[in-house]
Amino acid sequence: MDVDFIDVCGVPTKIVTLGNRLGEKFDKKEIVLFITGNPGLCDFYITFLTTLYKFLQGNVPVWIIGHAGHDEPEDRKHRIPRLKHNKQLYNMDGQINHKVEFIRKYIPSDVKIHLVGHSIGAYISLKLLDIGDIGNRIQRCYLLFPTIEYMAESPNGKLYTSLVQRYFKIIYYLARFLHILPTILQNLLIMIFFWVRSIPSEFLESALMYIRPSVLSKIIYMATDEMEKVKEPDYALIEKNKHRLTFFYSTTDGWTPITYYERLIGRIPEINAQLTDKYDHAFVLKSSANMGALVAEWIQQHSAQI
């Protein structure tokens, strides 16, 4: 596994690769590209990705791209543009353009893409399908707990708009306070929170990135834009590409309630949409390995080389 920060749309962006490194020649003309949910911190998905790569037996590279501004390099050589004067980089349109530039610049045009999107990453994946030169290269999209419609009207969306948006300044200044505390105190407070919520300690370092004010502001800015823009699904696009789409919903998902699943299969009965009661929306916290094995099985079914 290799980790790099590269320039994408003028934003230093974290890329984690298993198999081919960035810039290496592709022996196999296929790749699995994973687009994160929000927050778009790559490290939350490491167990999922390594399991996926293992079950694919190393026969295809697996890459993950985080969202612009959600991961910050530790060194000072890479400067992250501030949100205040660069909002076009960090809203939904900016994040979609960010993925378009990355694919065009770093994945050779003759390499087929197995695109896996989690949460808002599923919405972005559908948008990529509709971009000619990129959509033609996508072998299949695997959309995990897909927030592709009416996010603001979901139970979690209503909670977000009533609490997070309303009290953003309080949350922001709380993050600033936590960020200036000694690292040992930050670790202690987060570990207590993890213990209460039964979250594995392996995510401690990622959580420290999450509470950075500069990162948190971009995460919340993107989420607020999601509430405004993710409304009616593009059923025409889904219908057109139904032969290469897999949707995966959960009965416990507060972002995509069962009614959204039912509406999709009602509109497009032939769509490959599955409903589970085994996994939660934030599957990375407790079910990464199981989800990695499951997605590997799907990809093997739709790959000519694996």
133 is catalytic: no
Give Cβ neighbours of residue 4 (< 8 Å, ≥ 6 apart): 14, 15, 17, 21, 22
Peptide bond into 39 cis (omega under 30): yes
Catalytic pick among 119, 125, 250, 288? 119
Cα–Cα distance, 16 to 62 (Å, whole number): 8
Cα–Cα distance, 19 to 1 (Å, whole number): 7
| CB atoms closer than 10 angstroms to residue 60 | 26
Catalytic pick among 67, 70, 114, 281? 281
Cα–Cα nearest to 74, from 208, 166, 228, 274: 208
71 is catalytic: no
Give Cβ neighbours of residue 122 (< 8 Å, ≥ 6 apart): 35, 141, 143, 144, 145, 146, 147, 148, 247
Kindly state the tokens that stand for 8.
């994408």
In angstroms, the Cα distances linking 164 to 282, 288, 290 are 18, 27, 31
For the chain, how big is the Rg over CA atoms in Å? 19
Catalytic pick among 70, 253, 288, 303? 253
Phi-psi region of 67 (alpha: psi -120 to 50; beta: other; left: phi over 0): beta
2 is catalytic: no
Active site residues: 119, 253, 281
